Each structure stands twice: as C-alpha cells, then as structure tokens.
Amino acid sequence: MRARAPASAANLGPGFDVLALALDLYVEVEVNPAPRLTVSSSGEGAEYSGDANHLAAMVAMEVAGHDRLSVSVHSSVPVARGLGSSAALAIAAAAAAGSPDPLAAGVAVDGHPENAAASFYGGLVAATVVRGKVRVVRFPLDEDLAFVALIPSRSLSTKKARTVLPEMIHRSDATFNLGRMAMLLAGLGDRSMMDREACADRLHQDYRSPLFPQAPSLMNAMLEAGALAACWSGAGPTLLAICDLRSAANVLDGARSSLHQAGMQGHVIRLKPDMHGLQVGEDIGD
C-alpha cells in the first residue's frame, strides 16, 4: 500500500505547540509484504539508516507486528528544518502499513499533536490533548494566501531548540500570545485582517534566536519585501512568510536576496497550503 502525507509548519508565531499548517511538500511511503525487511529511501533524508532503525521501518513493523516488509520512502520534506518531517513520515508509514489510526502514530513519534494533525487532516489546525485524547479543530484559510519558506542548509533539532525554553513564563507573556493568536487566526481566515504583529511571540522565538541569530533580520527582510507577517516554522531554522498572492513573488525575491546578503547557504521556495492531508492508495502521485 502507498500513502502520502504533507509537511507542516507549526506554532506560526504565537500558537506554540497548538497551531499548524499543512504545506505542499510531501513524504510518500510504500509498504508491501516481503521475505525479509528491506528499506530504501530517496529525496530528502535519503542518507539516513536504510535498515530496521529507519523511522518508517520502525513504524511499519509496529503496525504489522513483524519485519517481513519492503518499505520504500520518497520525501521532499527537509529533515530537521522545522517542517514536520518526522510526523509526516510516521503518519504515511503507519497508513501504508495498514494502521487504523495513523494520526496516533504521528503523535507518538512527534510527542505533541499539532504537526501530526496538520499532516493527517490538511489545512490549518489547532490540536491539543484532552483527557488523553487528541482533539483537532480545523480553521478557515483564505484562498488568496501564499507562503514563502526560507530554508537554511543548517539543521536544528526540535530537542535542542526546546532546551533553551524557560520552564516558567510571566502571565503578561501568556496573555500577549493569546491576543496575537486570535489576531493570527482572524488574518489567516481573511487576509485583509492580517497584521504583521499577529505573528509576534514571547514564548519561543526570542529564546531560540541565539541558536539562529540571523532569524530576526531575515524575517524583517521578508516583511519589508511585502509579507503580511513572518514567523519561525516549528522549532526552525525554516522561516515562513505569510503573503497574499500578489506579493508572493516579491517576497520570494526579497528572501533570496537577504539569505545571500547574510552569507548563508539554503534555498527559498513558494508553497501552497495542502488541504487534503493524508492520502492512501496505489495511484497517489500518478
């Protein structure tokens, strides 16, 4: 069986560990019966383990209950860049192996549900755990929004990015984020209501900036080029610009120029929201 799941950008500024948006980069996994375990991969992450230690293989074996499987992975989602590659891979692998609940596999691997929920359902979501169960809400998304991702060549693991976050926060910072998240959801649903302050955050972005000191200036460059708002994607180092369709080309050029001026390697791409989420079937991608 073949399954495909999209990448995701989580947090989106003030929505720390709650909001995520599915984007049109994909992980595709095919799982079939075989005499023994074989694992092959191509695209992003192809350099990682081609044996039972590969995440897709581990998920598929857990679902199947044995290792007599052929597991094939192709991914266009950069690894350790804040684009939800692990959650997307786990969901696609679980679905390809026949799991009745691929979302649970994504949550188990990722440790928190928002990336997994976006990859599973598509679109813009909020996800949380209530009494041990994942609850997901989908929000409207303006059809005339586009997104520009600035993806540095350097990686940044979520685990490392979490070590710099404080254990306690001030009440004023919590209310600051709640207010901005309300603004952000309104702006994502209706771009005419988007304000660049909607992606302001006091819970994670500033704390993580020492791990990526160029981030503030790069985001500011995207804003100056015409982005409606800009934020970290997940734990970074990818930065995401929220644009309307008319300004996306200018933002793309501005982001590329700012990356070059910063003397950094990487690439900048224009992305669309994925509204379908997980897809399962032999004809996916055909």
What number of CA atoms fall less than 13 Å from residue 30's CA on the CB side? Answer: 13
DSSP 82: S
| Mean pLDDT within 50-75 | 95
Domains and CATH numbers, the chain: 2-139+274-280 (3.30.230.10), 145-271 (3.30.70.890)
For residues 222 and 243, what is the distance between their CA atoms, to the nearest angstrom? Answer: 10
On the question of pLDDT at 132 being above 90, the answer is no
Decide: helix, strand or coil at residue 164: coil
> Is this model's pTM higher than 0.85 or not?
yes
- Structure tokens belonging to residue 232: 């970290």
Q: Contact at 8 Å (CB) between 22 and 122?
A: yes
Res 282: pLDDT: 73
Q: Which residues pair with 7 in a beta bridge?
A: 23
Band (pLDDT 50/70/90 cuts) for residue 285 is low
| pLDDT tens for each residue of 224-273 | 999 999 999 999 999 999 999 999 999 999 999 999 999 999 999 999 99
